[in-house]
Structure formats: C-alpha cells, structure tokens
Amino acid sequence: MINITNLTRYFGTLAAVNAVSFSVGKGEVFGLLGPNGAGKTTTIRMLTTLLAPSAGTALVAGYDVTVDPLEVRRAIGVVPQMLNLDIDLTCAENLEYHGRLHKMEPADRNARTEELLRFVGLWEKRDTPVEHLSGGMRRRLLIARGLMHRPQVVFMDEPTVGLDPQARRLIWGLLESLRRQGITILLTTHYIEEADALCDRVAIMQTGRIIALDRPSVLKAGVGKYSIECLGRHDIPRQFFPTREEAIDASRGLCEDIVVRESTLEDVFINLTGERIEG
C-alpha cells in the first residue's frame, strides 16, 4: 500500500527527512516513532501530498505522490495532528462537507455519517457545533472525518497528542477496531505505549533517518526481553537480559531501588541513541 524509497526533504540545508525507505502492506498498522523533530510529520506530509519531496519516490496505493497527487488523495484519509475541524459547523456538517469534497452520493453520505458518528460515540452530538466539543470529542470526530470516504490508507499524525489518559484509551480502542477491519494505517507517535500497543511494525526515527524497523516484539528482543533499571541513579546504565531470571540475578546488590521489567520500545531507542524519546 505504501512504498517509499530514499525519500528526502530539505528545508534550506537541513535534511528533515533523509533517504528514508520502507513499505507498508495492506491491512498493516505501521508506526513512525521518534522524538519531536525526528521527521515523522514531514514524512507524513510528503505521503499525503502536502509537501513535495526533495528527492526519492513515494507510492501510495500504487500512485506516485508527485505524479498523481489527485489519485493519491482519492485513496487516502488523513487525521492530522492539528484539530482542523470547522468549529462553526456541526459534527454532521463537518462530515457532510468532507463527503462532498470526495463526491460521495447524498444517500451514501448520510448513511456513512450516521455509521461513523455512532462508531466514534458522537451520534448524540451530531447537531452540536464543534466549538462546543471537548478536545477528546474533536479528536474522535477528526478520526471519523478521515474515514468518511472509505480510504484505502489512513494517515494519523499523533492521533492522541494532548489527550488525557482516559480519552487516549478511547482512541486506542477505535484504532484497535480499525485494525480488526483490515484498514491500512500509518501513524506517527512519540508515545512508546501507543506504538507498542497498536502497531504491527514500527520504524524508529531520529534526526530524519530510520534507525530501526521491525515488529515491536523483535525490536525489544533485540536489546533483551527484560531490563533492569536503578531508579534515581543515572550513573548506572540500563541493562538488558534475555530472561527474567538472568535479570533478577544481575540486579542483586546493584543498587537500592531497582526495577526488573519487560523491555519497551523506549529501551530500544535509548540503546540505539543514548537518549529518551519523550521529553
């Protein structure tokens, strides 16, 4: 569904995305994980035709983003990081507008609006102007809008950024449901748990490059399935072990407050870069 080769984007002399290559298969949930400024959003903006690549090629649903941008736009749904809904329009009107942009027939538009507003739990709010919705509700409406025209590929840029844990869990539930429906999703996130819980495969990005790409379980196994961490002791580096027993053995006498736990994608990132993802 998505094939990109050596995709590059310069801003002046700065390479925000530098020779990035990966493929995403049909029905796959693929995550771009990395800190702010890693190049995730720039990558997604090139794939959604909002930004022209400086070099490399990108095919989405079989169409080149620079040669056939209108065909790409027919095939994709976009859930941007910014809540760019029309706040003076109601929930239903926002979806109707989107359906009209995609030339959906009126009967289909109405049926799809009801289906999606029920899916995201906003049917009761269908006639409420968006300005009266909470941030979490707006985020859910944004997801509904991105799905309105039944896209083949959905791009989600930080779909839970700025939400409280309860609202975030609600969005995760929706994404889980989309995954079960077989919708191809490319999402960017800087939340470790999110990438771990939702993605079939994850590409970890730093300063415009992909530094690791695989299934979360494989990436974590690569550093060691279990880790020990001395709380409050930054002078003692995290250590990784293939089994819990080995981790417990190694932790004895190491420091006072010690945690033995399963490794996370953040451990993978720290192991590769020496830095944390979330600031």
Residues near another protein (CB under 8 A) are 48-50, 69-71, 73-74, 76, 78, 80, 82, 84-89, 93, 97-98, 100-103, 129, 145
Nearest to 116 by CA among 165, 28, 108, 89: 108
> Which of 80, 224 has the CB closer to another protein?
80
Q: Cite the DSSP H helix spans in the chain.
A: 40-47, 69-75, 91-101, 106-119, 135-147, 165-180, 192-198, 216-223, 244-251, 265-273
> Which of 9, 220 has the CB closer to another protein?
9
- Cα–Cα distance measured from residue 173 to residue 12, given in angstroms and rounded to the nearest whole number: 40
In the complex, what is the shortest distance from the CB of residue 98 to another protein, in angstroms, rounded to a whole number?
7
Tokens of residue 243, six digits: 């089994």
- Cα–Cα distance measured from residue 194 to residue 196, given in angstroms and rounded to the nearest whole number: 5
> Which of 77, 136 has the CB closer to another protein?
77
In the complex, what is the shortest distance from the CB of residue 242 to another protein, in angstroms, rounded to a whole number?
45
Mapped onto helix, strand or coil, the DSSP state of residue 184 is strand
> Which of 44, 198 has the CB closer to another protein?
44
In the complex, what is the shortest distance from the CB of residue 142 to another protein, in angstroms, rounded to a whole number?
10
In the complex, what is the shortest distance from the CB of residue 24 to another protein, in angstroms, rounded to a whole number?
18
In b/e form, how buried is each residue of 206-233, taking b as 16+ CB within 10 angstroms? Answer: bbbbbebbeebeebbeebbbbbbbbeee
Distances (CA, A) of 267 to 201, 217, 272, 276: 16, 12, 8, 8
> Which of 50, 260 has the CB closer to another protein?
50
In the complex, what is the shortest distance from the CB of residue 47 to another protein, in angstroms, rounded to a whole number?
10
> Which of 10, 97 has the CB closer to another protein?
97
> Which of 86, 278 has the CB closer to another protein?
86
In the complex, what is the shortest distance from the CB of residue 171 to another protein, in angstroms, rounded to a whole number?
19
- Cα–Cα distance measured from residue 93 to residue 143, given in angstroms and rounded to the nearest whole number: 15
Those residues whose C-beta lies under 8 Å from the C-beta of residue 241, and which sit 6 or more positions away, are 224, 225, 226, 227, 228, 247, 250
In the complex, what is the shortest distance from the CB of residue 2 to another protein, in angstroms, rounded to a whole number?
15
